[in-house]
A and B are shown apart, each in its own frame.
Chain A
Amino acid sequence: MLAFLVQRISQALLVMFVISVIAFAIQDGLGDPLQQMVGMSVSQQERDAIREELGLNDPLPVQYLRFAGNAIQGDLGDSYFYSKPTLDVILEHLPATLELVIGASLIIIVFSVPIGVYSAIRPQAWLSKFFMGVSTVGISIPVFLTAIVLIQLFSIGVTVDWFPSDTGWGQWLNGALSTDGGLPSYGRGEELTHLFGTWYSGFFSTGGLMHLILPAVSLASIMLPLFIRLIRAEMMEVLQSDYIRYARAKGLSAGRINFLHALKNTMLPVITVGGVQIGIMVAYTILTETVFQWPGVGLMFLEAITRSDIPLIVAYLMVVGLIFVITNTVVDLIYGLVNPTVKLTGKKA
C-alpha cells in the first residue's frame, strides 16, 4: 500500500513537471499578456517598462527556473487578471465546478444503473429499444447544442401553435408541447451557503439547486448514454456466464440473481471507466460552464486563454493534471476493495 502511494505521488510530480514545461514552452503562442493589461494608446516605452517589470523579457529557461523555484515552495505565481495568487483563484472557482460534476454524476448514477440493467434484462422490450435509440441520439449531440435547446425550452420557454386551437385535441397538443420556461439560465444564483474556506455551495437552497439543474443535465447528457450502454453490455455478458446459469438452476429469485450476483460483477469495469470519465468531465465542463456562465474553473481557464493570463493557465493545467492522477489513484484503490484479487503494485500475488 505504502509503496503504491509513493509510486503514485512520484508519478504525480512527474506529470506536473512535464505539464509545466510544456505550458511554458507554448506560452509564446498564447499571445501577449500585455495587450490585455494596457489600453491601445499606451506608448511602446511604457509597454517595455511593464514587460521588464513582469520579467517577460528574460529568456524562457530563466523564467522557467524562477517559476519552478517558487513552485517548489508552493507559489505558482500571481494571475495577471485577478492580481492574486493563481492557486487562490483556482480554489475560488473549483467548488463551482466540483458541484457541477457532482450534480451531473448523481444524475448519471440515478439514471444509468436502472436503465442499463433493465435494458439488459429485457433487451427486446420496446422501452429498452426506446432508451437505446435516445442514447444514440444523446451521445451524438454536442453539449453546447443540448445546452442551448435546454435554455430555450426550460428557461425562455416556447409557445407552440402548430395545431388548430379551436379543437380540443389541438389545444391539448399545443399546450403539451409548449413550455413555460422560468429555470435560471446562467450563473449560480444568490442563495449560496458558505461551507468552509472558498466553498460556497448551491446544494442547500432551492435557488441554488434550480440554478444547477440545466447545467448538470447538459453535462450529464454526454456521459449518461455512454454509461447506459456500458452497463447494458457488461450486464448482458455477465448474465450469460456460468455462475448466473447455475444460480438460475438453483432456483434463486430473479431479483436476487440480477441485482445481487450479476450487478456486482457488472460494476467492476464501470467503476474503472467511471473514474476516468469523471476526470474527463472536469474538462468537459469548459463547454458547459461557458454556455451557462457557470463561474467554475472551466470558464476561468477559457477566459485566461483569451486574456493570455499565462501564470493562471500554467497553474490550471498543473492542477488538472493532479486531479487526473488523484482520481486514477482513488479508482485503483476502490477497485482493490471491490475485487480483492487485484494487486495494486503489480507484484506477484
Chain B
Amino acid sequence: MKKLLTAFVGSLALITAPLAVSAEATKELKMAYDADPVTLDIHEQLSGGTLQLSHMAFDPLLRWTKDLDFEPRLAKSWERIDDNTMRFTLRKGVKFHTGNELTSKDVKFTFDRLKKSQDFKAIFKPISDLKIIDDYTFDLVTSEPYPLLLNTATYIFPMDSKFYSGKTEDGKDKSAITKHGNSFASQHLSGTGPYTVVERQQGVRMVFKRFKDYWDTNSPGNVDKIVLTPIKENNTRVSALLSGGVDFIAPVPPTDLDRIKRDPDTNLVTMSGTRIILLTMNEERVEAFKNPKVRQAIAYAVNQEGIAAKIMKGFATPAAQLSPKGYQGHNDSLKPRYDVAKAKELMKEAGYEDGFTITMMAPNNRYVNDDKIAQAVAAMLARINIKVDLKTLPKAQYWPEYDDRAADIMMIGWHADTEDSANFYEFLTMCPNKETGAGQYNAGNYCNPEIDAMVEKANVETDLDKRAALLQEVEKRLYDDAAFIPLHWQDLAWAAKKDVHIEPVLNVMNFPYLGDLVVK
C-alpha cells in the first residue's frame, strides 16, 4: 500500500515538476490528533476525522470563516436565481493532484456520490439536483425553498471524477462507497487540496506533502510536510508536545490545560464549542416526567454553572438551550435557572414532594468528564428527593442502550452537522417518527406538534431574519416546557509550539485549515 501510494505520488511529481512555481513551503509540521482518519474516502463516514482530512486533501466549494460566515473557495461566486435554484461559478484553472482540471463535471460526480453515501445522503436530501450549465457554471436545485443551501454546500469537496471512475484491476467500481471493505476510494485519493497523502499506515502515522500545483497561491501557508500521528492516550499526547516530539496537538484534555499554559514554549488556544451536552427525561418510562412541573423542577435543580466551573474546570460554557451563540436559533434571553428552593416548590405543586426513584445512564469515555457530570447531576437531584440509580458505560456499550432507551434519564451530546439550530430540533426534540426519521435521538419522547410545525416552517423560510425569529421562539418554548436538561457546550482546545501560528487557522467546527498554516 505504502509503495503503491509512493509510486502514485512519484509519478505525480514527475507530471507537475516543471510547473512548480507556487509559494515557498519549506517547513515541516509534526502533529498528533487523538485519532487518524478511518479511510481516505471522504464520503464513507461523516465524522470530525473525515472533515479534517477533507480540508487537507480537498477543497470545498465554500467554507466557514471563524465568525460562521461563508468564504468562497472552489466556487468563485454564487447567486440565487429563484426560490429553488442557486447558481455557482467555479474558479478556473484549479488542478487536481493528478493534474486533471476541475470542471462542473467533477462537482456533479461528487454531488451524485454524496447522494449515494449512507452518511451524507440525509444532509443532501433537500437538494434534488445539480444541473451543469457549462464547464464552470452549475445550479443546485431544491424541491422547495431551502434556507440552508449554502451550509450544505460546505460539504461538497469536489473529487477528481476521472481518477475515481472506471474499474480497478480486480474489476471493482472505483467510485464505490464501501463501509467496511477495501474499496479503491478508501485507499487512493485525488483532490484539489493543499496536501497530497504520501504515506499512510493506519493507526500509526500519515504523511502529507504540499501539493506543488495548489490553486490558492494567495494562501500564506508555508508548511511543506505534515506528519500526523494518532495518539489516543491524553497524557501521552500532551507529553509528546511538551517534550518537543510534536509541534501541534488536539484535543487538549482539560486536566492538562494548566500544565500547557505554564510551559513557556507552547501556546494554548481554547474556544467555546458547539456540541451541546444534555440529559433526556423519558416520558414513556416515567409517568412523573409527563408533568411539565416535574421537568421544570429538575431543570431548576441542576446547576449548570457549577458543573462547568467545578467538574469541567471552566472548560465548558453553561447552557440553557440547544443552540450555541452564533447559531440562528440562539436566544440570548435564556439563562441557566439554578434554584433549589424553586425546584422543591415545583415538586410539591406537582404532588411529588416525597420524590421518586429513577434510573440514569451515561457514557464514561465519550464526552469530557461524562461520568463525573452524571454523578454530579445525580447528587443534585437527590436534593429534591429524586433518587437516581446511575450506571455509566463505555461508549461501545452505551449507544446500543441509548437506542433501546434503557434508562429514565440518558445523556447525549449533539453537534449540528449543518451548523444550524433546526438540526438539533429534528434529531433531539421532534416527536419520534420511525418513517420520517424525526426525533431519532429523542430519548425523552417529548412531543409537541406545535413546536414541530414551527421547525418545519423555519425549514422552508428563506428570509433569514424571519427564520431566526422562528427558531428563537422554538428555543424559548422548549425552555419553558423543560423538554430536556441542557448542561453545557463543551469547549475546544488546541496547543502548539510558539512558532506554529495555529490561532488563525482554527475554528469552532474543529477542522483546522492547515493549508493556510504559517510556521515561523
Q: Which residues of A contact B (CB under 8 A)?
A: 29-32, 35-46, 49-50, 53-54, 78, 80-84, 92, 148, 151-152, 155-157, 181-187, 290-293, 295, 299-300, 303, 305-308
Contacts and interface: CB of A to CB of B under 8 A. Distances in A.
Contacts of A37: 45, 179-180
Contacts of A82: 202-203
A306 B236 contact: no
Nearest to B122: A41
What 7 A-B pairs are tightest by C-beta distance, nearest first?
A31-B396, A39-B46, A155-B243, A35-B399, A295-B204, A43-B437, A39-B119
B52 to A, nearest CB: 14
A83 B183 CA distance: 9
Contacts of A49: 118
Interface stretch (B18-26, B53-61, B225-233, B473-481): B225-233
Contact of B47 (A39, A43, A80, A303): A39
B203 to A, nearest CB: 7
A205 B64 CA distance: 45
Nearest to B48: A39
Contact of A35 (B38, B205, B235, B396): B396
A41 B46 contact: yes
Given A41-B46, A78-B180, A292-B236, A187 B205 contact: yes
Contact of B414 (A40, A53, A84): A40
Contacts of A308: 396
Interface string B177-219: 0111111001000000000000001111100000000000000
B306 interface: no
A121 B93 CA distance: 81
Interface residues of B, number: 53
Contacts of B417: 39, 41
Nearest to B231: A293
A46 B118 contact: yes
Listed residue (B398, B400, B441) with the most chain A CB atoms within 10 angstroms of its CB? B400
Nearest to A38: B119
A299 B201 CA distance: 14
B369 interface: no
Contacts of B38: 81
B255 interface: no
Given A37-B179, A186-B236, A187-B204, A151 B396 contact: no
Nearest to A81: B38
A44 B440 contact: yes
B333 interface: no
B248 to A, nearest CB: 14
Contacts of B398: 31
B240 interface: yes
B378 interface: no
16 contacts: A38-B179, A41-B123, A45-B437, A46-B121, A82-B203, A83-B178, A155-B239, A182-B244, A184-B245, A186-B236, A187-B204, A187-B229, A290-B236, A295-B204, A306-B365, A306-B396
Q: Looking at chain B's contact residues, is the secondary structure mostly helix, strand, loop, or mixed?
A: loop
Contacts of B423: 41
Given A31-B396, A291-B236, A43 B179 contact: no
Contact of B400 (A31, A45, A184, A291): A31
B222 interface: no
B394 interface: yes
Given A42-B118, A54-B180, A81-B38, A31 B440 contact: no
A268 B242 CA distance: 46
B229 A38 contact: no
A303 B232 contact: yes
Interface string B112-124: 0000001101110
Given A32-B400, A37-B179, 12 more contacts: A30-B396, A31-B397, A31-B399, A37-B180, A38-B118, A41-B440, A53-B179, A81-B38, A81-B202, A291-B235, A305-B396, A308-B396
Contacts of B186: 83
Contacts of B242: 156
A187 B183 CA distance: 28
B233 A291 contact: yes
B394 A31 contact: yes
A111 B287 CA distance: 67
A248 B243 CA distance: 55
Contact of B427 (A41, A54, A184): A41
A43 B121 CA distance: 10
B520 interface: no
A186 B239 contact: yes
B490 interface: no
A129 B242 CA distance: 37
Nearest to B397: A31
Contact of B232 (A53, A78, A184, A293): A293
A121 B356 CA distance: 70
